[in-house]
Structure 1
Amino acid sequence: MRNVLLHLRIPFSLFLLPVFLFALSQTSFASASQAWWAFVLIHLFLYPASNAYNSYYDKDEGSIGLLETPPPVSVGLLVTAWALDLAAIVLAILLDLGTPFVLYLVLYGLISKAYSHPAIRLKKYPLLSWLIVGLFQGALTYLATVQVLSHMEVPSLFSVRHLLPALICTSNLWAVYPLTQVYQHDEDARRGDLTYSRLVGIEGTFLSAAVFFTLSFVGFLYYFLHFGSVNSLIVLTVCMGPVLGYFGYWWWRVRQNPTEANFRHTMRMNVLASLGLNLFFGILCLYPL
């Protein structure tokens, strides 16, 4: 049971909390209880199910997502992944969270399984898997959260007001996701997975992250100047300054010694990025600027 709980990697799922908080900060939600349930179903059911499913088929021996030494996997992990996915869908229906949100849960669950299952294994296609992870964990999750919080009609989501922040979330994930693969090149090579990070190499991984971090900031700049305020940009700079500083420091270390592209630096980068964005969006939720 302990091994199953470890492979759910619930704390790792919370690294994606900024997407939810961004949507929450930009939405007039209709029901506080439904907002809480949306959070629970995404972060405590959907994401852990995806983590468990991925762990079952990968059977990692090296460090992965907060687990420096992953425990052995069993069929119980696969059963747990399916149970969490089905429970999320059933609860969304019973709680009347709406058909679009239920469809989001179903679609995300199916894609996460296609990502890992050996019969399809999207993970072995570097560009496709990178695109899918960014779009589903970023844009789709942002839009699904806005929709379920506000009970908005789906066509209304297709405007700059909603699509731009959704794309900012995707850009952030396109920057960060390859960094989570940069220390796993040997493990991925052993399984025959050509990940995006392996494809572009260590230097290319950092360069790609720098490009998409820059695009994210440009997106934030445009979005808050048109739909928010300069104060939001000031707070964003303060919250994310340490993250960008650490990223630059880590990149410099890696250029001196490629072995610095390791698990511990990756986890520090993830924690800093998550804390910085969570702090920023948390402030926006509590004190709209």
Structure 2
Amino acid sequence: MITRSSIKHLRIPFSFFLMPVFFFALALTPNLNEMRLALVFIALHLFLYPSSNGYNSYFDRDEESIGGLKFPPKVTPDLYWLAQVFFVIALLLGAWISWFFASMLAVYGLVSMAYSHPSIRIKKYPWTSWVIAGLFQGYFTFAMAYAGLSELGWEVIFKPHVLIPGLLTSLMLWGNYPLTQVYQHREDARRGDQTLSRTLGIQGTFAFSSFFFALTGAAFVWYFLDRGQTPILWIYLGAMAPILLFFLVWFGFVRTNPEKYASYSWAMGMNALSAISLNAFFIYYFLENTQILQVFGY
């Protein structure tokens, strides 16, 4: 029997926060096909990511707020099997496109399992988990989505036109990743997980993220200028402006009272605003790159 608790722990709406990587890959895919687009989107956001979320929750058994759940319900045994079923469905959808794409989904899923499983638990190693999470949720996912959308294989991973934008997405995630841990210090300490945010401290986490946000912004400026897309650059900077403003306001409050403002509500607010702005920008970038807007006279 599937419990309501297990459905909640899949955190399907949380996939919205990871959609910018997919839309960036979509914007740069030259060989679009409606069926592949739907299959890749569904495999990633409705099955692979929820499977990873559920598997993580099963072994973490959080008692305090986690990403997407302010009050996580008690974990039940069926969650493990539900997460595995979602993983298998993701693989089957991937195989519909190609075995190459399915194998990429499998690698992502296995790494996410190693992230949480007690026998390996990458999560408890601060710098290793930071590198792996950013690399796989960013660069690897970008390459995986690009390969699935274009019906290509593993060879795309090291192609410059995939490698460079893929690393840009990892830069975004490397900046944001410690902020997703900043309100979980007590919970992580209880489990013995020495996360990067615990290692850096609350204010150190914000200073660290500030550096990577600046680096990410500079990298995207270079990327769009190198492609001769100055108008796109200005739209990108406009999309980033509310995110930067929110972050600076949040950081200001944290400096006055870290315990009060390094909270779930602020972190989820940052995630939600970032996802809305980035999804909107990359959807626009997709429409602009494919010249769909020009067809309608925009």
User: TM-score per shorter chain, which class?
Assistant: over 0.9
Stretch deviating more after TM superposition (29-38 or 139-148): 29-38
Correspondence for 1:265: 266
Whether the aligned pair in 1 keeps the contact of 2:100 and 2:153 (CA below 8 Å) is no
Correspondence for 1:278: 279
Correspondence for 2:119: 119
Structure 1, residues 164-197: CA drift from partner, whole Å, max 9, x if none?
Answer: 1101100111111110100000110011100010
Q: Which whole-Å CA distance do the structure 2 matches of 1:143 and 1:221 have between them?
A: 21
2:22 to 20, 23, 32: 20
TM-score, normalised on structure 2? 0.93
1:149 Cα deviation (Å)? 1.2
User: Following superposition, which runs of at least 4 residues in structure 1 exceed 6 angstroms of deviation?
Assistant: none
Q: Which whole-Å CA distance do the structure 2 matches of 1:152 and 1:227 have between them?
A: 23
Correspondence for 2:49: 47
Whether the aligned pair in 2 keeps the contact of 1:88 and 1:105 (CA below 8 Å) is yes
Correspondence for 2:246: 246
Change (3 A) 1:161 1:75: same
Stretch deviating more after TM superposition (142-151 or 267-276): 142-151
Match of 2:201, SS state, is helix
Any stretches of 5+ residues in structure 2 without a counterpart? Answer: 292-298
1:68 to 45, 70, 78: 70
TM-score, normalised on structure 1? 0.96
Whether the aligned pair in 1 keeps the contact of 2:143 and 2:156 (CA below 8 Å) is no
Structure 1, residues 144-167: CA drift from partner, whole Å, max 9, x if none?
Answer: 111121234543442332211101
Any stretches of 5+ residues in structure 1 without a counterpart? Answer: none
Change (3 A) 1:195 1:241: same
Q: Which whole-Å CA distance do the structure 1 matches of 2:39 and 2:192 have between them?
A: 39
The RMSD of aligned alpha carbons is 1.3
Structure 1, residues 53-84: CA drift from partner, whole Å, max 9, x if none?
Answer: 00011110100012111001111100001111
Correspondence for 1:32: 34
Q: Once the two structures are aligned, what percentage of the paired residues are identical?
A: 45
Whether the aligned pair in 2 keeps the contact of 1:45 and 1:85 (CA below 8 Å) is yes
Whether the aligned pair in 1 keeps the contact of 2:100 and 2:152 (CA below 8 Å) is no
Structure 1, residues 13-41: CA drift from partner, whole Å, max 9, x if none?
Answer: 21000000000011123311111110100
Pair 1:90 & 2:106 matched:
no
Task: Map 1:173-188 onto structure 2 (within 5 A).
Answer: 173-188=173-188
Stretch deviating more after TM superposition (203-212 or 179-188): 203-212
Report the number of matched residues.
Answer: 287
Stretch deviating more after TM superposition (28-37 or 189-198): 28-37
Whether the aligned pair in 2 keeps the contact of 1:29 and 1:35 (CA below 8 Å) is no
Whether the aligned pair in 2 keeps the contact of 1:164 and 1:219 (CA below 8 Å) is no
